[in-house]
A and B are shown apart, each in its own frame.
Chain A
Amino acid sequence: GQNIDQPTEMTATEGAIVQINCTYQTSGFNGLFWYQQHAGEAPTFLSYNVLDGLEEKGRFSSFLSRSKGYSYLLLKELQMKDSASYLCAVYGGATNKLIFGTGTLLAVQP
């Protein structure tokens, strides 16, 4: 079967660092995406990993370990506007469809 797991909710403090984990089991793998979705809005693209390692993009970084079926999104210097849902999604190799996790709702507190 195909399964993507992420924590349902997380809370962090403004200015801090938070790591959102994602584990996956899919029949194939052609890459992993992270999307950000503010309440009532469309998901927007944050990052893409297809090879093992860390991809850094400003305050956001994403890590992938294909052998472990594991990724994380790292958010540094948290701001209030980072309060949102963060969606992990995997491109399954056999179908080329994007499979989404249920998302992690991050609340940033002052």
Chain B
Amino acid sequence: DVKVTQSSRYLVKRTGEKVFLECVQDMDHENMFWYRQDPGLGLRLIYFSYDVKMKEKGDIPEGYSVSREKKERFSLILESASTNQTSMYLCASSPSLGAPGNEQFFGPGTRLTVL
């Protein structure tokens, strides 16, 4: 079974703190994604990566950065957390970007609250 794990299920941080969200997949997938999910807005893509050290901006990259030093690990970084970044963060992976039909496998999500 494909497994995508995220470092925390729940996280509470203070405004201005630097926040790291970690995601690990065990299926040797090339592509990894970070989304946030908010009521009424659905899943929105923050960043994605199609290879080690490669990254592409998604639809809402402002206030976020990412790091992919190893194929299995994709980190999302909030340099200075703000209250409007309170959300559910979902990581996903898929085997190939250029082959539609390859589904994305999601991690369990991290519910981040910024106070």
Known: A31-B100, A31-B101. A97 touches B45 (CB 8 A): yes
CB of B41 within 8 Å of the partner chain: yes
Interface size on A, as a range, is 20 to 34
CB of A75 within 8 Å of the partner chain: no
CB distance from B40 to the nearest CB of A (A): 6
Indicate if the CB atoms of A45 and B43 lie closer than 8 Å.
no
Cα(A42)–Cα(B90), bound, Å: 8
A interface, over-half SS: loop
Q: For residue A30, which residues in chain B have a CB less than 8 angstroms away from its CB? A: 100
Chain B 97-108, CB within 8 Å of chain A: the 1/0 string? 110110111111
Known: A87-B43, A97-B45, A97-B48. A44 touches B100 (CB 8 A): no
Other-chain residue from A31, A44, A97, A101 in contact with B42 (beta carbon distance below 8 A): A101
Indicate if the CB atoms of A91 and B100 lie closer than 8 Å.
yes
CB distance from B84 to the nearest CB of A (A): 18
Known: A43-B90, A43-B106, A97-B58. A87 touches B100 (CB 8 A): no
Cα(A98)–Cα(B59), bound, Å: 11
How many cross-chain pairs have Cβ atoms below 8 Å apart between A and B? 48
**Chain A, Cβ-Cβ closest to B111:** A40
Chain A 10-49, CB within 8 Å of chain B: the 1/0 string? 0000000000000000000011010000001111110010
**Count of B interface residues, CB-CB < 8 Å:** 24
Q: For residue B109, which residues in chain A have a CB less than 8 angstroms away from its CB? A: 40-42
Q: For residue A40, which residues in chain B have a CB less than 8 angstroms away from its CB? A: 109
Indicate if the CB atoms of B108 and A42 lie closer than 8 Å.
yes
| B-contacting residues, A64-103, CB 8 Å | 87, 89, 91, 96-98, 100-103
Q: For residue A45, which residues in chain B have a CB less than 8 angstroms away from its CB? A: 103-105
What are 22 pairs between A and B in contact, CB < 8 Å?
Answer: A8-B40, A31-B101, A40-B109, A41-B108, A41-B109, A42-B109, A43-B43, A43-B90, A43-B106, A44-B106, A45-B103, A48-B101, A50-B100, A96-B97, A97-B59, A98-B33, A98-B45, A100-B42, A100-B43, A100-B44, A101-B42, A103-B42
